[in-house]
Amino acid sequence: MVRHICMFTLKEEDKEKNIAEFCERAEKLRAIEEVKGYNVVRNVAGTPDSNYDVALIFDFDTVEDLDKYQKADLHLEFGAFVSTVRTSRACIDFEI
């Protein structure tokens, strides 16, 4: 199994609105068949400003399934939105 974690820092302008929309849109990614486990999370208030704002933690059976997810129309649409509101991104994929 492969765990895919992507963390994002969002632009300061309209940050709370963008975090809410990010989480709402990210929940729809569950519909992608290859996603076997998922969490959409946001940073806890009061933690360091250097923390990322939101993260996706998704599990896939194989790297090939992760690749299919990344090419899925729903994911591409989500990515287009995220590119308009993010300032940074970090990602890691690892076996569990």
Distance, CA of 66 to CA of 33 (rounded, Å): 11
pLDDT digits 0-9 by tens, 15-61: 999 999 999 999 999 999 999 999 999 999 999 989 999 999 999 99
Amino acid 12: pLDDT? 93
Would you say the pTM of this structure is higher than 0.75?
yes
Cβ atoms of 55 and 7 within 8 Å: the answer is yes
Q: Which residue has the tokens 């970090």?
A: 90
Cβ atoms of 74 and 31 within 8 Å: the answer is yes
Q: How many domains does the chain have?
A: 1
Q: Which domain holds residue 38?
A: 2-61+88-95
The CATH number of residue 56's host domain is 3.30.70.100
Amino acid 18: pLDDT? 97
Amino acid 77: pLDDT? 98
Three-state DSSP at 46 gives coil
Amino acid 25: pLDDT? 97
For the chain, the straight-line distance linking the first and the last C-alpha, in angstroms and rounded, comes to 6
Residue 18 belongs to a domain:
yes
